[in-house]
Amino acid sequence: MSRTEAILRLLLALCILPCNTSISSAASTADAFLHCLAAAIPPDLLHTPPSPSYSPLLLSSVRNLRFVTPGTPRPLAIVAAGEASHAQAAVRCGRLHGVSVRVRSGGHDYEGLSYLSLDP
């Protein structure tokens, strides 16, 4: 496996709605965004809150325990990109539907920017 392939396997794109979105608008935006992701990314690489793999994947690289509290906002989806096109699709879908995409690779995110659904 090449270094690039290894990095891509670690890449997690966490998809987060902006906090100034109304509830009804947020629901339709989230649905459209998730539909866009589902059309572009293999289902075994797309993890949403109902997925049994979502929480373990999200929490697998937590380095700062303040991001494991029940009150911490969670991402709409986690994309475990297997190749560059998966990360590109997450960014395209995010841009198209107004969803912020945060990238985490290797768990180096002590300040928690990839865990929070608040824009920095």
- Residue of 74, 84, 72 whose CA lies nearest to 4: 84
Where does residue 60 rank: exposed (0-12), middle (13-18), buried (19+ CB within 10 A)? exposed
CA distance 23 to 69: 23
Please tell me which residue, 54 or 118, carries the higher pLDDT value: 54
pLDDT at residue 41 greater than cutoff 70: yes
Q: Where are the domains of the chain?
A: 23-97
SS3 for 104?
strand
pLDDT at residue 46 greater than cutoff 80: yes
Residue 90 has a pLDDT of 92
Q: In what order do the strands lie in the sheet with 77-80?
A: 46-47, 77-80, 11-16, 100-105
- The CATH number given to 23-97 is 3.30.43.10
For the record, the structure tokens of 72 come out as 């911490």
Residue 21 DSSP label: -
pLDDT at residue 79 greater than cutoff 60: yes
Distance of CA 61 to the CA centre of its chain: 14
Residue 34 has a pLDDT of 93
pLDDT, tens digit, 9 for 90 and up, residues 56-70? 888 876 777 777 788
> Per the confidence metrics, is the pTM higher than 0.75?
no
Stretch 45-52: mean pLDDT, rounded?
92
